[in-house]
Amino acid sequence: MIKFSLLKGLSLLGIMMMFLSCDDVPVVNKEDAEFIDEYYEFQDFNLSSYELPAIISLPDETANIGAATKPEIIHTESDYQWDLKVGRNFEIHIEDCAEVGDLVKEKKKELANHTFYKIKYLIEDKELIMYERTLVVSGMDNASPTVGIEHKSYHVYGQKKLGKIYYELRSRDEGSDKTIIDLMVKSIRSLRPSEIQ
């Protein structure tokens, strides 16, 4: 009977200690939890060794875009441009624009002057735009429904300020499909200064 009570007491003590130890677990704040959840298929990539004092989150092999596990950077010394590739389809062009701000505003003006393309904004922020670009085909109303292909592509254009320098970040000129551009949006938004500068 004493052994049974001793076991029962030790079990109860163990359960109480387990509940009390839960208070010691650090609580992740809501913003950190959302960032972790949103970027669970991404890995951080430090660009400092390529003369760009920044870290960017890039899709890893679990993002299911056929991405290579190792990003490729095309950059020559004394050049102010970088092409960041992950697999065949994911490509972000980065350009140092010195102290020139309002890059997104100027890009929107440029897009407004297009006569061959119809632009539809899917994301429209001060520092980032994502848009659908559709080729305007003349004579389309009279054409047979079986003729022609809809020429539609998706694009992202953003700006980030690191220190005193503004950087342009954009998808390739021909664009890509929406799944890839959605991932690029996340990557561009994740760009931040690296610790090593």
151 within domain boundaries:
yes
Query: Which helix (H) or strand (E) covers residue 17, if one does?
Result: helix 2-21
6 within domain boundaries:
no
67 within domain boundaries:
yes
Please state the domain count of the chain: 1
Burial of residue 193, with CB atoms counted within 10 A of its CB: 0-12 exposed, 13-18 middle, 19 or more buried: middle
pLDDT at 56: 95
pLDDT tens per residue across span 128-179: 999 999 988 765 555 555 555 668 999 999 999 999 999 999 999 999 999 9
46 within domain boundaries:
yes
pLDDT tens per residue across span 26-85: 444 444 444 456 777 889 999 999 989 999 999 887 766 665 568 899 987 778 999 999
Alpha-carbon gap, residue 63 to 120, rounded angstroms: 26
The boundaries of the domain holding residue 58 are 28-193
Reported pTM: 0.73
18 within domain boundaries:
no
132 within domain boundaries:
yes
CATH number, domain containing residue 84: 3.40.1000
Cα–Cα distances in Å, from 105 out to 41, 116, 125, 144?
A: 31, 20, 10, 39
